[in-house]
C-alpha cells in the first residue's frame, strides 16, 4: 500500500450555471464522447435537465491557477458513476 500525504489547501469550486433556467448547475451524466478532440463530457442541469457538452467535467476545483477534475469524473471513462459534491 502506498503511503499518502494529505494536506489541507484553499481551493475554489467552479460550477457551470445552467443557461436555460439560470438556477441549476450542470452535472455530468456519465456520457463521454471519447472520439471528439478534445473529448467531451455530457452534462445535465440538476434543476431543468437541460443537456450540454463541455470539454471539462464540472464541478471543477482550481488551485494555484490549475484546474482539477474530480477523480470520479475520470474513472467513469470505464463506468458510469455520476460525480457530485455539495
Q: Is 66 exposed, middle or buried (0-12, 13-18, 19+ CB in 10 A)?
A: exposed
37: which 3 cell numbers?
Answer: 478532440
Q: Considering beta carbons, is residue 12 or 47 the nearer one to Zn ion?
A: 47
Site string for Zn ion, 19-38 (x = CB under 5 A): -xx--x--------------
Per CB under 5 A, does 44 bind Zn ion? no
Q: With binding defined as CB under 5 A, does residue 50 bind Zn ion?
A: yes
Q: What residue ranges bind Zn ion (CB under 5 A)?
A: 18, 20-21, 24, 45, 47-48, 50
Amino acid at each position: 500500500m502506498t503511503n499518502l500525504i494529505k494536506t489541507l489547501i484553499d481551493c475554489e469550486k467552479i460550477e457551470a450555471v445552467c443557461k436555460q433556467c439560470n438556477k441549476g448547475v450542470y452535472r455530468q451524466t456519465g456520457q463521454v464522447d471519447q472520439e471528439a478532440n478534445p473529448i467531451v463530457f455530457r452534462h445535465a442541469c440538476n434543476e431543468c435537465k437541460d443537456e450540454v457538452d463541455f470539454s471539462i467535467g464540472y464541478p471543477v476545483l482550481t488551485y494555484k491557477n490549475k484546474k482539477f477534475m474530480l477523480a470520479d469524473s475520470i474513472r467513469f471513462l470505464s463506468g458510469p458513476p455520476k460525480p457530485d459534491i455539495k
